[in-house]
């Protein structure tokens, strides 16, 4: 018999500098060394990529053998390694001497000075001037054409870290090592430059470059930072951990944190480079009060007194429910908690909501109802453990780039990929199966997939029986939903639907991820329910690599909802009617919280139009621009008696305010965000609030104080201690009871549920099929037409979304260097070549896009990224006002609007030259 | 092309099988196994051609091609040619081979053109050691072998180029 353990033992014992250590077989010598808290020099090694073994500076001695390169040599059972000796130092010095012999020695004038790995290696091994006489060197010219990557290839040491970073971390395959021998060099594309090679400007190559061959513009001029602050990105729900480098109180640059749990030392272009908005000249820096239709500057005291007085008056005159608050998923958990406490404990209303209403409320609702937690079930790292991924209505490589990059790596490593999306997204192009379904037909296709699972008996009967309820009902509902039936509705091949269902069911660990293409496409809750059904029916929950998880849009959209900035629940999604939750809040707050369900965002606008809502307090949400049906929203805000907007920049919503309060960016405050996989992470102040502005938590606290209630977290000088807010929040939130700043400091992050201070946090919810609500609920989801359908008059479907380089309405990104990128310059209407031909439209033509509600004119971009019959626009560019077009149809359960489905007609109104 | 048994000495092969040196030529050294093999002097001709014995003398069997150099060959230039061979063949991945082979070629050119000095010899010795222990594959790690054998067995081939340190 073959004894595998003998041939291939699980662990081996080696000696490092005389210390015996047992490590897993296959461990590299370098990892064994690091495990002992020792180190050896490295240059080409990076723990974010596979070892490469090129620079040879990590050589170690092996007793009885030639030296080996530690980074890529697996340990040998019984071997004895030495990490330092005069011989090794000499070898390392002589290698360094060779490197430096083809390197301009201009350290003082170099952007890497003081942070250069070659420089510190030279110091470490004691290299002075190289002995080689007049060596032939490489001196290609500098290249400053890329806005974020400065090339000084005369300094390149040929370590290929940039190439490997682009391949193995970012997955864009822009760079390569070309040529051979001494003439090996790094090229972009076929030496055709970054742009042509579709560089996404993530900056990872710059981050990895050990020298200044690839450098970030501006770092040379700034010199070394005087402070590095670790914080969490405020753009998307990936929650990348960032190191903010500042000097003299200003941000010099931002780099990915190597210890970041969500991003593992990676970022996208936004988190990395789009930070200049914080120092932008047009920040709001003084409170503004509107008088006679015009804003005038006011002192903080005056503005806050006015806000408190008017809120009190309206409260006394019209009752608590004449007031409503919109909190912000851009702001911290602590600020959101304070906003809902202000609403409930001070104003006495449950009318508080946040923008997850317009994005992922259906996801939270369906997950909560069916499984018992309003959040995704598994963690980012699970994509590396899945063998089938199904991605529905999400474009993570653009909207959640760092997670998208990980999905790409998983697929490149062999994971099967199914994509349901009307667009030819990057992942759709990589997919094993792409179902290019018509916008609005998600439920039909998901129902048909369930039909196939049942009809072909691809079920996990044991899991269904043991862990779920409601199967018979679902079975009855989808009985008629054949692939042929769904194919009619979705305009796709029925065999594709069959194949996708089979592929999903065949996976040992299949995972479903979805995005706004589910929740903003009408009947979003039912689509989410359907996908959860699929996972339950095939037993794909509660294990690594399985699960059903929405990819959440904004940085803290999860957190804003988790902490109770919602009209029907306290934090932890506990109903405002739940007696236990009420008692806990009563005790903590000292007041009786209101009982009636408050207004959701769309209802608020409705109520304003009806005259029932008199006052609103909007925190950092540009609803006048980002909400659907812009005209209706603007009308609602105009009809209010009193509107307070707290913002960092003047925007269309703030224009309508009676009082504008200048808040701060994430760079100026302390707090926490919750990312898409329930990861609570710290936000830390990197720069002082810009003069004239105040931290948002403080402002909310002040408003409450002036209304006569001390929320209880402010020091003498009015500053709010965010950690104290967290303590109260954690006390009132059963699934967060183990969360505190001290623990976050120690662990870096905690994933809720984390019910007690000993609890390590939860990477996978519902482990072993033990659902938080007991049994998983299978939910019947009968098919309904979307609220919006094309007809002869409006024959095209418009769907909206994001592009990589911008973020939402662009308030932040458009004030940064991102605009230097050619691709980020203007809005376009993306249209399939076939459709374009039919309409006589060419790239660059002006096209009038008309929906049943409004019209806008944009330039066309003819591209195969759009599917036939469906055109695409983003909402990043205020001047194109995409949302003027969108209707007010909404999800029946949550009121989430149908951004993704809009019937339009198209007409060319001017040529490319016009 | 000869087929011989392992263990036959180099002397037998060169002087008996192959018929010895051409008229007027005197034996200087022999390189077995291709450009990465060490060059052995007259005193080592009784080495049997097998793997262990060759390795013990700093040579290799390699592809067992045998190149004999006569006294008319300038081993310094031969050595330079072998370094250059490495520079041409280097894949360019690892640093010692990619850069070292070019520096080695330059260094030997400099020795040929402006003379051997102690400093240059020390640098060449260091370079050989760096490539030998540092390179990723056999290409770079074996290139120093013939150069090292030159330094060891044929000092006169280098001394011809010796210049006083002052120059
Ligand atoms: S890259 Fe490093 S070694 Fe080279 S000049 Fe700059 S600081 Fe000096
Ligand atoms: S910036 Fe990112 S995408 Fe562009 S070349 Fe560098 S690693 Fe690749
Ligand atoms: S550009 Fe930088 S990272 Fe890329 S090979 Fe050169 S030195 Fe290495
Ligand atoms: S925008 Fe998202 S992916 Fe990009 S750096 Fe920020 S958190 Fe990461
Ligand atoms: S770090 Fe090991 S070879 Fe470069």
Q: What pLDDT was estimated at residue A884?
A: 63
Q: Which of B91, B102, B119 sits opposite A180 (nearest CB)?
A: B91
Using alpha carbons, select from A802, A104, A167, A862 the residue that is nearest to residue A516.
A802
Task: Tell me, yes or no, whether B59 and B96 share the same domain.
Answer: no
pLDDT tops 70 at residue A640: yes
Specify the higher pLDDT residue, A95 or B34: A95
- Topology of the domain covering A288-358+562-760: Rossmann fold (3.40.50)
Residues B54 and B100 in one domain: no
Question: CATH second-level architecture of A113-120+130-279?
Answer: 2-Layer Sandwich (3.30)
Query: How close does chain B come to A56, measured CA to CA in Å?
Result: 6
Q: What is the pLDDT of residues A656-680, one digit of tens each?
A: 999 999 999 999 999 999 998 899 9
**B87 and B150 belong to one structural domain:** yes
B162 phi and psi angles, rounded to 5 deg? -60, 135
Checking ipTM against 0.90, whether it exceeds it is yes
**CB-facing half-sphere around the CA of B52: CA atoms within 13 A:** 1
Residues B108 and B136 in one domain: yes
> Do B57 and B115 share a structural domain?
no
Per-residue pLDDT of A347-383, as tens digits, reads 999 999 987 755 667 888 888 888 888 788 998 889 8
pLDDT of residue A342: 93
Question: Do A247 and A220 contact (CB within 8 A), yes or no?
Answer: no
Average of per-residue pLDDT values in chain A? 88
Kindly compute the dihedral angle of the four CA atoms of residues A263, A267, A268, A272, in this order, to the nearest 10 degrees: 150
Given CB atoms, is A180 within the 8 Å cutoff of chain B?
yes
Answer positive or negative: Cα dihedral of A442, A443, A446, A448.
Answer: negative
Using alpha carbons only, what angle is made at residue A34 by residues A31 and A36, rounded to the nearest 5 degrees? 120
| Percentage of residues of chain A with pLDDT beyond 70 | 92
pLDDT at A2: 43
How far A95 CA sits from the closest chain B CA (Å)? 6
Residue from A43, A106, A117, A161 to probe ligand 1 pocket by mutation (most atoms less than 8 Å from CB): A106
Whether B58 and B116 share a structural domain:
no
Residues of chain A with CATH 3.40.228.10: 361-550
B23's CB contacts (< 8 A; 6+ apart) are none
Provide the token pair at A587: 């005790």
Q: How far is the CA of A109 from the centre of ligand 5 (A)?
A: 27
Domain presence at residue B131 = yes
B141 and B66 in a common domain: no
Å from CA of A348 to ligand 2 middle: 51
In a domain, B167, yes or no: no
**Confidence label for B72 from pLDDT (cuts 50, 70 and 90):** very high
pLDDT tens digits for range A524-574: 888 999 999 999 999 999 999 999 999 877 788 888 888 999 998 999 888
Q: What is the pLDDT of residue A912?
A: 52
Number of H helices, E strands in chain B: 8, 3
Domain count, chain B: 2
Q: What is the pLDDT of residues A239-281, one digit of tens each?
A: 999 999 999 999 999 999 998 888 999 999 888 888 888 888 8
Percent of chain B with pLDDT over 90: 64
Give the mean model confidence (pLDDT) for residues B86-95.
93
So what's the pLDDT on residue A875? 62
Task: Report residue A577 as tokens.
Answer: 């009617």
Greater confidence, A604 or A867? A604
Say if strands A11-16 and A80-82 run parallel, antiparallel, or are unpaired: parallel
pLDDT digits (tens, 9 = 90+) for B110-145: 999 999 999 999 999 999 999 999 999 988 999 999
Asked if A294 reaches chain B (Cβ–Cβ under 8 Å), the answer is: no
Within chain A, which residue ranges are assigned CATH 3.10.20.740? Answer: 4-84
Q: Is residue B102 part of a domain?
A: yes
Q: How far apart are CA A366 and CA A773, in angstroms?
A: 12
CATH number at residue B122: 1.20.1440.230
Q: Which residues contact A319 (CB under 8 A, 6 or more apart)?
A: none
Distance CA A567, CA A352 (A): 5
Residue written as tokens 């003819």? A862
Q: How far apart are CA B120 and CA B162, in angstroms?
A: 10
pTM, two decimals, is: 0.87
Residues within 8 A of A (CB atoms), B 25-84 only: none
- Domain A361-550: which topology? Dimethylsulfoxide Reductase; domain 2 (3.40.228)
Residue A824 is predicted with a pLDDT of: 57
Residue with tokens 């209403």: A357
Per DSSP bridges, beta strands A433-435 and A416-420 are parallel
Q: Which residues pair with B70 in a beta bridge?
A: B27
- Hey, what CATH topology would domain A4-84 get? Ubiquitin-like (UB roll) (3.10.20)
SS3 state at A339: helix
pLDDT digits (tens, 9 = 90+) for A121-150: 999 999 989 999 999 999 999 998 888 899
Q: With 90 as the cut, is the pLDDT of residue A789 above it?
A: no
According to the model, what pLDDT value does residue B167 have? 46
What confidence score (pLDDT) does residue A804 get? Answer: 59
Residue where a domain stops, chosen among B26, B55, B70: B70
Helix (H) or strand (E) holding A512, with range, is strand A510-514
User: Which residue does chain A place closest to B93, by CA atoms?
Assistant: A54
pLDDT beyond 80 at A881? no
pLDDT of the residue at A845:
85
Question: What tokens were used for A582?
Answer: 């009420």
Domain end residue (candidates: B24, B41, B70):
B70
pLDDT tier for residue A229 given thresholds of 50, 70 and 90: very high
Residue A475, beta-bridge partner list: none
Instruction: Return the pLDDT at A139.
Output: 92
Contact B134 A183 (CB under 8 A): no
Instruction: Identify the residue among B88, B89, B96, B113 best suited for mutation to test binding to A, counting A beta carbons within 10 A and taking the highest.
Output: B96
Separation CA A484–CA A489 (nearest Å)? 9
The pair of three-digit structure tokens given for residue A551, joined into one six-digit string: 């990819």
Q: Would you say how long chain B is, in residues?
A: 167
- Hey, what CATH class is A796-910 in? mainly beta
Q: Where in chain A is the domain with CATH 3.40.50.740?
A: 288-358+562-760
Within chain A, all domains assigned CATH 3.30.70.20 are found at: 113-120+130-279
Where is average pLDDT lowest: A84-88, A458-462, A712-716?
A712-716
Q: What is the mean pLDDT of residues A846-852?
A: 81
- How far, in Å, CA of A449 to CA of A456, rounded? 11
Tell me the residue range of the domain where B35 lies. Answer: 10-70
Is there a single domain that holds both residue B80 and residue B152?
yes
Q: What pLDDT, on the 0 to 100 scale, is given for residue A73?
A: 95
**Distance between A257 CA and the closest CA of chain B, angstroms:** 29
Please tell me whether residues B58 and B99 are part of one structural domain.
no
pLDDT of residue A913: 47
Query: Is residue A879 scored above 60 in pLDDT?
Result: no
User: How does residue A858 score in pLDDT terms, banded at 50, 70 and 90?
Assistant: confident
Is residue B81 located within the same domain as residue B108?
Answer: yes
CATH number at residue B19: 3.10.20.600
Q: Are residues B65 and B92 in the same domain?
A: no
In A431-470, which ranges are continuous DSSP H helix? 442-455, 461-467
Residues B33 and B80 in one domain: no
Residues of chain A with pLDDT > 90, as a percent, come to: 57
Q: Where in chain A is the domain with CATH 2.40.40.20?
A: 796-910
- Asked if the bond preceding A753 is cis, omega within 30° of 0, the reply is yes
List, for residues A689-743, the tens digit of each pLDDT value: 999 999 999 999 999 999 998 888 988 887 899 999 999 999 999 999 999 999 9
| Of A369-373, A409-413, B81-85, minimum mean pLDDT range | A369-373
Residue of chain A whose Cα is closest to the Cα of B123: A131
Interface test with chain A among B99, B110, B132, by most A beta carbons within 10 Å = B99
d(CA A408, CA A430): 8
| Contact: B90, A66; criterion CB under 8 Å | no
């Amino acid at each position: 018999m073959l004894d595998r353990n003998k041939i291939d033992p699980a662990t081996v014992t080696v000696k490092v500098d005389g210390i015996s250590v047992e490590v897993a077989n296959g461990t590299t010598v370098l990892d064994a060394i690091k495990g002992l808290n020792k180190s050896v020099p490295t240059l080409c090694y990076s723990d974010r990529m596979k070892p490469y073994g090129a620079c040879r500076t990590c050589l170690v001695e092996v007793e009885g053998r030639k030296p080996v390169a530690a980074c890529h040599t697996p340990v040998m059972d019984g071997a004895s390694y030495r990490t330092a000796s005069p011989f090794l130092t000499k070898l390392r010095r002589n290698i360094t001497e060779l490197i430096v012999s083809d390197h301009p020695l201009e350290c003082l004038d170099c952007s890497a000075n003081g942070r250069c790995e070659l420089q510190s290696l030279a110091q470490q091994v004691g290299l002075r001037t190289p002995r080689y006489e007049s060596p032939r060197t490489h001196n290609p010219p500098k290249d400053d054409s890329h806005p974020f990557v400065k090339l000084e290839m005369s300094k390149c040491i040929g370590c290929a870290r940039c190439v490997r970073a682009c391949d193995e971390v970012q997955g864009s395959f822009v760079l390569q090592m070309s040529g051979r021998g001494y003439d090996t060099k790094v090229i972009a594309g076929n030496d055709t430059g970054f742009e042509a090679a579709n560089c996404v400007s993530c900056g990872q190559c710059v981050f990895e470059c050990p020298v200044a061959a690839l450098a970030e513009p501006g770092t040379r001029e700034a010199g070394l930072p005087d402070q590095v602050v670790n914080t969490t990105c405020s753009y998307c729900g990936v929650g990348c951990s960032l190191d903010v480098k500042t000097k003299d109180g200003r941000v010099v640059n931002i780099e990915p944190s190597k210890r970041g749990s969500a991003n593992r030392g990676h970022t996208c272009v936004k988190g990395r480079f789009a930070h200049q908005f914080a120092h932008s000249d047009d920040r709001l820096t003084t409170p503004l009060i509107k008088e006679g239709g015009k804003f005038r500057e006011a002192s903080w005291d005056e503005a806050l007194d006015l806000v408190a007085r008017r809120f009190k008056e309206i409260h006394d005159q019209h009752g608590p429910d004449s007031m409503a608050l919109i909190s912000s998923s851009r702001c911290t958990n602590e600020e959101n908690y304070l906003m809902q406490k202000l609403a409930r404990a001070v104003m006495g209303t449950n009318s508080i909501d946040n923008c997850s209403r317009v994005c992922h409320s259906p996801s939270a609702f369906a997950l909560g109802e069916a499984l018992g937690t309003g959040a995704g079930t598994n963690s980012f790292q699970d994509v590396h453990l899945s063998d089938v991924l199904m991605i529905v209505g999400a474009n993570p490589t653009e909207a959640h780039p760092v997670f998208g990059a990980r999905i790409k790596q998983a697929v490149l490593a062999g994971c099967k990929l199914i994509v349901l999306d009307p667009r030819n997204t990057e992942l759709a192009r990589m997919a094993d199966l792409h179902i290019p379904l018509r916008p609005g037909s998600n439920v039909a296709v998901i129902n048909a997939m369930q039909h196939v699972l049942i009809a072909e008996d691809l079920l996990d009967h044991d899991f269904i029986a043991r862990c779920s309820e409601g199967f018979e009902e679902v079975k009855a509902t989808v009985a008629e939903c054949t692939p042929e039936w769904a194919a009619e509705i979705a305009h796709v091949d029925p065999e594709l639907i069959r194949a996708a269902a089979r592929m999903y069911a065949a996976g040992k660990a299949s995972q479903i991820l979805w995005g706004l293409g589910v929740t903003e496409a009408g009947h979003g809750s039912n689509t989410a329910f359907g996908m959860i059904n699929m996972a339950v029916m095939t037993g794909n929950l509660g294990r690594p690599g399985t699960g059903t998880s929405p990819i959440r849009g904004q940085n803290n959209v999860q957190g804003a909802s988790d902490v109770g900035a919602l009209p029907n629940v306290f934090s932890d999604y506990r109903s405002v009617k739940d007696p236990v939750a009420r008692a806990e809040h009563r005790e903590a707050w000292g007041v009786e919280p209101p009982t009636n369900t408050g207004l959701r965002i769309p209802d608020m606008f409705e109520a304003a139009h009806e005259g029932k809502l008199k006052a609103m307090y909007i925190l950092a949400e540009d609803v006048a621009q980002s909400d659907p049906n812009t005209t209706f929203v603007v009308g609602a805000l105009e009809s209010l008696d009193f509107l307070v907007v707290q913002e960092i920049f003047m925007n269309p919503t703030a224009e309508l305010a009676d009082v504008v309060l200048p808040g701060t960016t994430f760079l100026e405050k302390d707090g926490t965000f919750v990312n898409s996989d329930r990861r609570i992470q710290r936000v830390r102040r990197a720069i002082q609030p810009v003069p004239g502005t105040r931290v948002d938590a403080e402002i909310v606290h002040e408003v409450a104080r002036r209304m006569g209630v001390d929320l209880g977290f402010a020091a003498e000088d009015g500053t709010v201690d965010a950690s104290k807010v967290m303590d109260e929040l954690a006390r009132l939130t059963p699934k967060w009871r183990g969360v505190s700043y001290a623990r976050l400091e120690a662990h870096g992050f905690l994933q809720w549920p984390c019910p007690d201070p000993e609890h390590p946090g939860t990477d996978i919810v519902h482990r072993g099929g033990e659902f938080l609500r007991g049994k998983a609920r299978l939910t019947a989801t009968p098919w309904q037409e979307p609220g919006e359908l094309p007809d002869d008059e409006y024959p095209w479907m418009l769907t909206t979304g994001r592009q990589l380089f911008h973020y939402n309405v662009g308030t932040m990104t458009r004030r940064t260097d991102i605009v230097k990128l050619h691709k980020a310059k203007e809005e376009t209407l993306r249209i399939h070549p076939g459709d374009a031909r039919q309409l006589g439209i060419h790239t660059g033509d002006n096209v009038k896009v008309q929906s049943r509600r409004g019209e806008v004119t944009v330039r066309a971009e003819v591209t195969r990224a759009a599917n036939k019959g469906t055109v695409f626009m983003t909402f990043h560019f205020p001047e194109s006002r995409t949302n003027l077009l969108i209707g007010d149809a909404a999800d029946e359960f949550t009121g989430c609007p149908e951004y993704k489905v809009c019937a339009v007609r198209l007409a060319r109104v001017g040529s490319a030259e016009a | 092309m000869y087929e011989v048994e392992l263990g036959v000495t180099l002397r037998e092969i060169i002087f008996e099988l192959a018929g010895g040196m051409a008229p007027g030529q005197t034996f200087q050294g022999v390189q077995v196994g291709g450009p990465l093999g060490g060059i052995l002097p007259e005193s080592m001709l009784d080495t049997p051609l097998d793997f262990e014995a060759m390795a013990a003398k700093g040579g290799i069997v390699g592809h067992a091609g045998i190149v004999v150099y006569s006294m008319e060959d300038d081993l310094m230039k031969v050595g330079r040619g072998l370094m250059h061979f490495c520079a041409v063949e280097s894949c360019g991945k690892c640093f010692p081979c990619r850069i070292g082979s070019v520096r080695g070629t330059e260094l030997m050119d400099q020795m040929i053109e402006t003379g051997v000095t102690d400093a240059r010899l020390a640098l060449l010795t260091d370079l050989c050691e760096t490539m030998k222990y540092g390179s990723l594959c056999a290409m770079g790690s074996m290139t120093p072998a013939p150069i090292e054998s030159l330094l060891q067995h044929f000092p006169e081939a280098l001394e011809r180029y010796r210049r006083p340190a002052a120059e």
